[in-house]
Structure formats: structure tokens, C-alpha cells
Amino acid sequence: MNKRRPNPKQVPDPTEPMWRSTLRVAMPLNLSYIPIGLACGILLHAAGFNTFLTGLVSLLVFSGGGQFLIATMLTINSPLLSIVLMLFFLELRYALLSSSLSPYLKGQSNRFLFIFAVSLNDENYAINYLKFATDKKWTVREALAVEHYSLLFWATSNVIGSLIGSALKIDLSVVHFALTSLFLYMIVMQLKSHLTVLICLVSAVLAAFFMIVTKSTLGLVIATIVASLIGFGLEELLQKKMPNSHWLRRMHSPGSKKSVVEHSDAN
């Protein structure tokens, strides 16, 4: 990938080079990629991917959910088109992430945007969005460095996982729960109002219903589209008719983003 030399002119603190200050920001994420990347590498190996292809998919797709999905769908012998379609819907959420980052990337060349988009991911998005929103000195080069660190750790953990998978016999149904846990974690991070909790329940019921009816993972796609449209419609309706409804109220939780920011500003 396009790993760039840090530009010394953009270092905000002259005593610390950029590669170290960005590594410090990216490190909690890098460490959390290790167990998930290992699990993902093991599953990809079981799905028939060799170690080289496991590294390649980690660099090119760079999505925990996407790569687990590829592994799972390969082991149940899904057709190529079905895998790619499911992957597309899974990755569609990045449209939201990249549009919300776009105000901070105004004026960059298309070449830079290309490089930035290739290594964008849920988790490095969370870091960079927070940094852009709270730290006026945070530059696009630093944001890209954080992306590249997380990509490096992700791909390395996947490759090591693939090697572990070829050396040891592992209970795959347990390893697969790493993905379920990852999704559960991401759901919890997304619960911002009572309405989103309701939409979760709606989506759960619809997903079970449509998967049983269609006898395929296409049911997931239908459930996602219907549930998100219901959420969109309900929110519009509530904002017009009853703007003080408790369904729209923001939910608070321990250690929410705000306190994370305060904590990282303090040190």
C-alpha cells in the first residue's frame, strides 16, 4: 500500500515525530485488531484461503465483517454472486462513514481521496472522526497514518491467524462467535436513541422472517432495507408530529464518546 514518509513540517509538537504521535493515537485500535484478526485468519484458512490470499483480502477489503462473511459464506458453499451481493450491502455502510468525513477532506486531490478511501474502516473512522471534530490541529496526513497503522496490524494478524489455522485444529463454531461479538459491539455503539433500539427489534424479527421465507441470506438484505426505511420514516414522522417524543431522546451510557475525548485531551 501507499505508505508515505511523514512530512516533518506538519508535526504539531516538535519534540515528537509524526509517526510516533499517530502511532500513539492508533495503538488501542491496533491492539484490539489482534484477537479479531487472528480469528478472521483462522476462519479464512478453514474456508480454503491460502496465506497469501488471506493477506491480500485483508489489504484490499480491509473489513472485519466483510472478511468473516466471505469465510462463512464460502464454508456453506454460497455462489460467487450471492457472496459479492451480501458483501456489497455489508460495505454500503461505509457510504455513511465517508460522507460524514467529507467536510474534513475538502480540497484534497482525487488521488489522495482514493488512497484515503482504500484504507478507511469502521474503527479508524471512529478515531479520525473524533480527532477531526475535537482537535483543530489534526491533519489529513495524520488521519491517513492512523488508517495505515490499523491496516498494518489487521493484515499482519490475519496472516498469523492463517498460519495458526494451518498448524492447529480449532473449534470453528467458537471462533466464529468473534464476528457475532464484533457485530453486537457495533450495535451497542450505534444505540443513540430509543428509536434505534426499536429498529433493532424490528430488524431482528424481519431478518428471521425473511430468511425463513427466502431460505437464503437474501433475507438479510431485504430486512436491512425495510428496517432502515421504517427507521427513516418513523424519525421523519416523529420529528414533525411530536418533536419531544421520548423515542428521539438521546441515550447516555457509561464511557460514551464525550468522556473518551476528555480523557485523551488530558494526557
Footprint on residues 32-51 left by other proteins (CB under 8 A): 32, 34-36, 39, 46-50
8 A C-beta contact, residue 97 and residue 120: yes
- Tell me phi and psi for residue 7, to 5 degrees: -90, 115
Q: How far apart are CA 35 and CA 224, in angstroms?
A: 28
The number of beta carbons lying within 10 Å of the beta carbon of residue 59 is 16
Work out how close the CB of 26 gets to other proteins at its nearest, in angstroms, rounded to a whole number.
13
* Per CB under 8 A, 263 contacts other proteins: no
Burial profile 117-140: b = 16 or more Cβ within 10 angstroms, e = fewer: eebbbebbbebbbbbbeeeeebbb
Pick out residues in 101-120 that bind other proteins (CB under 8 A): 101-103, 105-108, 110, 113-114, 116-118, 120
Annotate 46-81 with DSSP letters as a single string: HTT--HHHHHHHHHHT--HHHHHHHHHHHHTT--HH
Work out how close the CB of 15 gets to other proteins at its nearest, in angstroms, rounded to a whole number.
30
Would you say 11 or 37 has its CB closer to other proteins?
Answer: 37
Three-state DSSP at 230 gives helix
Would you say 12 or 52 has its CB closer to other proteins?
Answer: 52
Choices 127-135, 156-164, 216-224, 242-250; region in contact with other proteins by CB under 8 A: 216-224
Q: Hunting for cell 423515542 — which residue is that?
A: 247
Instruction: Report the residue from 11, 87, 144, 155 that binds other proteins according to the rule CB under 8 A.
Output: 87
Work out how close the CB of 235 gets to other proteins at its nearest, in angstroms, rounded to a whole number.
7
Work out how close the CB of 124 gets to other proteins at its nearest, in angstroms, rounded to a whole number.
12
Work out how close the CB of 173 gets to other proteins at its nearest, in angstroms, rounded to a whole number.
6
Would you say 14 or 255 has its CB closer to other proteins?
Answer: 255
User: Pattern 145-184, binding to other proteins, x per CB under 8 A?
Assistant: --------------------------xxxxxxxxxxxxxx
* Per CB under 8 A, 82 contacts other proteins: no
* Per CB under 8 A, 206 contacts other proteins: yes
Amino acid occupying residue 263: H
Q: How far apart are CA 205 and CA 190, in angstroms?
A: 19
Would you say 19 or 211 has its CB closer to other proteins?
Answer: 211
Instruction: Report the residue from 215, 240, 250, 252 that binds other proteins according to the rule CB under 8 A.
Output: 215
Largest CA distance in the chain: 62
Instruction: Report the residue from 84, 237, 258, 263 that binds other proteins according to the rule CB under 8 A.
Output: 84
* Per CB under 8 A, 11 contacts other proteins: no
Closest CA to 3 of 177, 168, 137, 149: 149
* Per CB under 8 A, 228 contacts other proteins: yes
Assigned C-alpha cell, 13: 509538537
Return the axis-axis angle of helices 122-134 and 140-167, rounded to nearest 10°: 160
